[in-house]
Amino acid sequence: MRTEPVLLVVAHGSRDPRHAATVHALVRRVRSLRPGLRVETGFLDFTLPSVHGVLESLAAEGVREVVALPLLLTRAFHAKADIPAVLRDAPPQLRIRQAEVLGPSPLLLRALERRLYEAGLTPADKPSTGVVLASAGSTDPEAIAVIAAIAREWRHTGWCAVRPAFASASLPRTEDAVRDLRALGCERVAVAPYVLAPGFLPDRIARGAAQADVLAEVLGPAPEVARVLLERYDAALRPALAAVGA
């Protein structure tokens, strides 16, 4: 019987304990959706276990195949440089495939709307509500372009307007986007954090949302996010499965 490769969720890590707690809650939801799949978690910084430590432990157990899934919403520096560097340093007996980052995905848009509705909005509010799509920010032009494209796509689902904003590295800031939507004439303004877990930058987004009418929670362990993780895991395995069937 063929054993499925281990799914290793690679999280950034944070000094804020809420970050790790949220990541672990998301991983528990992934396990609940696919009980037969072994899912482990490793952190790049600040938090244990480290990615390298998890890979060493898996190799010592005799595991041979791993799918490393970046718990990231865009392909920026961590996905392009940090994570590949850590994986290159893994025990040589491990065969590791790096999955794609989570975004963009229609499921993540559904998760964003879930959080807004949980914060008090309803679908009937969409035509009169402007939304700030507030992300962590990046110096990577590809990542910034992806956030702008998501905002444009989301606008076409019925919101009065959607504006991207960034907590660091890029402009505009959340508070600037809130003011922009007010000036545009939206009856109410909502801030939707496009981040996975609490921490320093999400707290900055929350402060920037002080003049908004609604502030949603981070995406966290939303069921749609867990489904995206499994989609990325399955996609990473497709070339290998195709080769077996050839």
| pLDDT for 50 | 97
- Report residue 45's pLDDT band, with 50, 70 and 90 as the boundaries: very high
Quick one: what percent of the chain has pLDDT higher than 70?
A: 96
Please say if the pLDDT value at position 90 is more than 90: yes
Beta strands (DSSP E) in the chain are 6-11, 39-43, 65-70, 95-98, 129-135, 161-166, 188-193, 214-215
Please say if the pLDDT value at position 116 is more than 60: yes
Cβ-based neighbours of 2, under 8 Å, separated by 6 or more: none
Please say if the pLDDT value at position 104 is more than 70: yes
Please say if the pLDDT value at position 85 is more than 80: yes
- Report residue 217's pLDDT band, with 50, 70 and 90 as the boundaries: very high
Please say if the pLDDT value at position 172 is more than 80: yes
Please say if the pLDDT value at position 216 is more than 60: yes
- Report residue 1's pLDDT band, with 50, 70 and 90 as the boundaries: very low
Cβ-based neighbours of 219, under 8 Å, separated by 6 or more: 108, 111, 112, 115, 193, 194, 195, 196, 225
Average pLDDT for residues 148-160, to the nearest whole number? 97
Q: Is beta strand 129-135 parallel, antiparallel or unpaired with respect to 161-166?
A: parallel
For residues 207 and 24, give the distance between their C-alpha atoms in angstroms, rounded to a whole number.
25
Structure tokens at 240: 């290998």
Structure tokens at 118: 């949980």
| pLDDT for 2 | 56
| pLDDT for 240 | 57
